């Protein structure tokens, strides 16, 4: 079920399933992912490593390579089902209407091409009416917009001559120079120090507002999510287990996994307090989903959790959690989950 507060969301993902067919067997990476992204909204995808955040993003762009395959679902972008388009039509959308900032920008930039030419090339690919001189001029202007102090000089540099923060700014310039309607940001600040991270996030907020772009923000950093997102979705083992306004989810999480995830954040006010850890380990994705995948790690597990897949239960019109604890209480109010006990670090 996809919740929507707008008649026509920009992006709507319905029952998305992605499997990887390996020599060891089938990896059930995504098992029925549902979410929507409204016009000019920032939606965050949170969760631990391997939960399916990046696979979800790559699925939107239809960049799942073999042995991976999108086996089921629908992805609507601006009213068009991307999974039904041919590859030529998808190429006209990638980089033009949907752009993606990937992790480790220096690994994504061509080491033997000047950065100004790389930004200009993005324009030339998607606008055949431009000549190279005009594209270079627009590229320099875009470098200035992303806060490069000497854009003309920087445009003549190669990626190895840039710091991590400057390389990330170049990557943002490349992705936003075409003024896309959707920007997918996959851990855009993970390799940066705190000061540069704050600058990059502020830069992205300003540019997104000016260009009127919607953002799908993928991050494991809940502080970044709280600062940049309007709504957030929490993923666990290929499922979205909770979704709602970012303040609502962070202040009053209604899924046991979300509660546990938030408690793993160190308490700066009490540095001597032992770190909390969620017991157990992530289930094997080589097995198809037949129950709640968090059941073996949950303190509130019931017998049915091990035999049934929980559906999303609405807590209000925007906030929902896929947990049987909310069954029979479709308009569950705050604090309906028992408080999770903090365990001693082992």
For 263-282, what is each residue's pLDDT tens digit?
888 776 676 778 888 888 99
Per-residue confidence (pLDDT) for residue 269, from 0 to 100: 65
Per-residue confidence (pLDDT) for residue 340, from 0 to 100: 41
Per-residue confidence (pLDDT) for residue 37, from 0 to 100: 95
Residues of the chain falling short of pLDDT 50? 1-5, 330-336, 339-346
Per-residue confidence (pLDDT) for residue 329, from 0 to 100: 60
Q: Are 13 and 34 in contact (CB under 8 A)?
A: yes
Per-residue confidence (pLDDT) for residue 7, from 0 to 100: 61
pTM for this one? Answer: 0.87
Length of the chain: 346
For 71-104, what is each residue's pLDDT tens digit?
999 999 999 999 999 999 999 999 899 999 887 7
Beta strands 25-37 and 11-22, pairing class: antiparallel
Per-residue confidence (pLDDT) for residue 232, from 0 to 100: 96
Per-residue confidence (pLDDT) for residue 133, from 0 to 100: 92
Per-residue confidence (pLDDT) for residue 135, from 0 to 100: 92
Per-residue confidence (pLDDT) for residue 152, from 0 to 100: 94
Enclosing H/E stretch for 142: helix 132-145
């Amino acid at each position: 079920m996809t919740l929507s507060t707008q008649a026509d969301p920009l992006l709507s993902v319905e029952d998305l399933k992605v499997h990887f067919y390996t020599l060891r067997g089938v990896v059930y990476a995504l098992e029925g992912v549902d979410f929507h992204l409204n016009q000019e909204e920032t939606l965050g995808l949170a969760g631990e490593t391997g939960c399916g955040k990046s696979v979800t993003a790559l699925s939107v762009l239809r960049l799942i390579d073999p042995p991976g395959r999108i086996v089921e679902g629908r992805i609507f972008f601006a009213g068009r089902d991307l999974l039904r388009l041919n590859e030529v039509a998808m190429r006209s959308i990638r980089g033009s209407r949907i752009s993606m900032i990937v992790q480790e920008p220096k690994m994504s930039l061509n080491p033997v091409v000047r950065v100004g030419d790389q930004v200009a090339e993005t324009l030339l690919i998607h606008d055949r009416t431009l000549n190279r001189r005009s594209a270079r001029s627009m590229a320099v202007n875009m470098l200035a917009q992303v806060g490069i102090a000497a854009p003309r000089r920087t445009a003549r540099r190669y990626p190895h001559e840039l710091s991590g923060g400057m390389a990330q700014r170049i990557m943002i310039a490349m992705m936003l120079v075409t003024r896309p309607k959707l920007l997918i940001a996959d851990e855009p600040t993970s390799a940066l120090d705190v000061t540069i991270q704050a600058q990059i996030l502020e830069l992205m907020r300003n540019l997104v507002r000016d260009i009127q772009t919607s953002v799908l923000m993928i991050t494991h950093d809940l502080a970044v999510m709280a600062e940049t997102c309007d709504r957030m979705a929490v993923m666990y083992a290929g499922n979205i287990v909770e979704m709602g306004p970012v303040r609502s989810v962070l202040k009053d999480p209604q899924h046991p996994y979300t509660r546990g995830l938030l408690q793993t954040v160190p308490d700066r006010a009490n540095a001597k307090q032992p770190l909390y850890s969620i017991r157990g380990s992530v289930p094997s994705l080589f097995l198809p989903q037949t129950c709640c995948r968090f059941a073996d790690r949950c303190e509130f597990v019931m017998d049915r959790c091990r035999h049934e897949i929980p559906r999303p239960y609405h807590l209000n019109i925007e906030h929902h959690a896929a947990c049987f604890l909310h069954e029979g209480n479709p308009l569950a109010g705050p604090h309906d989950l028992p408080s999770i006990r903090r365990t001693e670090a082992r």
